Amino acid sequence: MIYIKTDAEVELLREANQLVSKTLAEVAAHIRPGVTTRQLDTIAEEFIRDHGALPGFKGYAGFPNTLCTSVNDEVVHGIPSDYELRDGDIISVDCGVILNGWNGDSAYTFAVGDVKPEVLRLMEYTRASLEAGAREAIAGNRVGDISHAVQTKAESGGYSVVRTLVGHGIGKHLHEGPEVPNYGKRGSGTRLDRNLVICIEPMINMGTKNTRVQSDGWTVRTGDGKPSAHYEYAVAVREGKPDLLTTFEYIEEVLIKR
Ligand code: MG
Ligand code: MG
């Protein structure tokens, strides 16, 4: 179902998504070689509960944790564990909260220590593909305009776009309509109306676009073992320019000090 929000509801969604942004910054401050993904998960859960919210993913469709932590060739939906981050890893941290009944959802891919230049380039292109997609989230455009912009940017770097997972509407439910694929044709798909709120979340692979689900039933990996990156914004569709409900500024303040 697609639910167009009122202006007041967009502000409630902004509060939820700002809390996700701050939670990811709290996680960012603890990312280093030797930390376990379970420790990051605990930090996030405590931070969210301390701010009067609930972890949005924990228990969602049976997912066991607060964060999805996806390392290197893991695309998304990695389950926090005793795995200790190593120098040279990259990790996508995806976080959801429920604040006053409204969902926030955002993801950021972090470098752990010294990451190979070709992997940093994958991260840069993935981030740029998100920004390119978000610029199209304006009233009167269609979902395909976002999809096309993401795909064009990612493929211009020589990368492939994951097809098996897509972005989504967000509101009282974590996943609402419409689906927001990261590939597609300009001018196609659902029309973007003012105050539609969507999550745009490119998952971009260095090698094959194909993915497989690990035997835990959750972790999605690349088909060839090459790395994947993932960034996600919640965006309210507005006239003329998109209204980003997510900000990466808190994360980047933390990263710049390191
Ligand atoms: Mg999402
Ligand atoms: Mg997410």
Tell me the C-alpha distance between 251 and 240, whole Å. Answer: 27
Tell me the C-alpha distance between 235 and 138, whole Å. Answer: 10
Question: Model's pTM, two decimal places?
Answer: 0.98
Asked whether 183 and 153 are in contact (CB, 8 A), the reply is no
Which ligand has the shortest distance to the CA of 77?
Answer: 2
Gap from CA of 53 to ligand 2 centroid (Å): 16
pLDDT single digits (tens) 53-100: 999 999 999 999 999 999 999 999 999 999 999 999 999 999 999 999
Single-letter code of the amino acid located at 24: L
Give residues whose Cβ lies within 5 Å of ion ligand 1.
105, 199
First to last CA, the chain: 43
Gap from CA of 92 to ligand 1 centroid (Å): 12
Tell me the C-alpha distance between 10 and 130, whole Å. Answer: 21
Tell me the C-alpha distance between 55 and 97, whole Å. Answer: 5
Gap from CA of 234 to ligand 2 centroid (Å): 9
| Tokens representing residue 35 in the block | 């930390």
Gap from CA of 232 to ligand 2 centroid (Å): 6
Residue 248: partners with Cβ closer than 8 Å, 6 or more residues away: 21, 24, 108
The values of phi and psi at residue 30, to 5°, are: -110, 0
Gap from CA of 85 to ligand 1 centroid (Å): 24
| CB neighbours of residue 100 within 10 Å | 10
Tell me the C-alpha distance between 79 and 61, whole Å. Answer: 13
- Percent of the chain at pLDDT above 90? 100
Tell me the C-alpha distance between 149 and 147, whole Å. Answer: 6
Asked whether the predicted pLDDT for residue 113 surpasses 90, the reply is yes
| Tokens representing residue 139 in the block | 């009233």
For residue 71, give the H/E element and its range: strand 67-71
Please give the pLDDT value at position 258: 83
Task: Write down all domains in the chain, each with its CATH number in brackets.
Answer: 7-257 (3.90.230.10)
Please name the residue that has the structure tokens 């996700």.
Answer: 20
Gap from CA of 106 to ligand 2 centroid (Å): 5
Gap from CA of 23 to ligand 2 centroid (Å): 13
Instruction: Tell me what the mean pLDDT of segment 33-48 comes to.
Output: 98
